[in-house]
């Protein structure tokens, strides 16, 4: 059981470039969550997805950020035209259907650095 796999672990981008972060949920899990951790802060909810559906994106910035979880393949968090304030650790978590986020398994995170 490989757990929640995130890649890349570290990503460096220059201002204005695009960042793509990938997340493969744990085997048997159909729900994916993305959280962002700024330096010296706790994790903050961004978006909750099921296969081919965005269920809750209330924590996602309205511009430049998007997320998807296609029928096949990993979930993708995409940040367009990155700015220095996007530098953070981005965590993906997954849960089984019907668990109501009570059984979240987190990945190791992707650390984005914007130069």
Contact segment (CB under 8 A) with another protein among 15-23, 66-74, 75-83, 97-105 equals: 97-105
Contact segment (CB under 8 A) with another protein among 17-25, 63-71, 74-82, 85-93 equals: 85-93
| Residue with Cβ nearer another protein (10 or 15) | 10
| Contacts to another protein from residues 20-49, by CB under 8 A | 33, 35, 40-45, 48
Residues with Cβ within 8 Å of residue 42, at least 6 apart in sequence: none
- Residue 58 in contact with another protein, rule: CB under 8 A: yes
What is the residue-wise DSSP string for the chain? ----EEE-SEEEE-TT--EEEEEEPPTT--EEEEEEE-TTS-EEEEEEEETTEEEE-TTS-SSSEEEE--SSS-EEEEE-S--GGG-EEEEEEEE-TT-TTSS-EE---EEEEE-
| Residue with Cβ nearer another protein (69 or 91) | 91
Residues forming contacts to another protein in the complex (CB under 8 A) are 33, 35, 40-45, 48, 55-56, 58-59, 89, 91, 93, 100-102, 104, 106, 108-109, 111
């Amino acid at each position: 059981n490989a757990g929640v796999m995130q890649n890349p672990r570290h990503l460096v981008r220059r201002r204005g470039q695009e960042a793509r972060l990938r997340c493969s949920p744990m085997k048997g899990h159909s729900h994916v969550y993305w959280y962002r951790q700024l330096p010296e802060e706790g994790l903050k909810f961004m978006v909750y997805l099921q296969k081919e559906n965005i269920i809750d994106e209330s924590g996602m910035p309205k511009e430049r950020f998007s997320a998807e979880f296609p029928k096949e393949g990993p979930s993708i968090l995409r940040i367009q035209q990155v700015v220095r304030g996007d530098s953070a650790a981005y965590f993906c978590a997954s849960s089984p259907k019907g668990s109501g986020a009570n059984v979240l398994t987190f990945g190791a995170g992707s650390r984005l650095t914007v130069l």
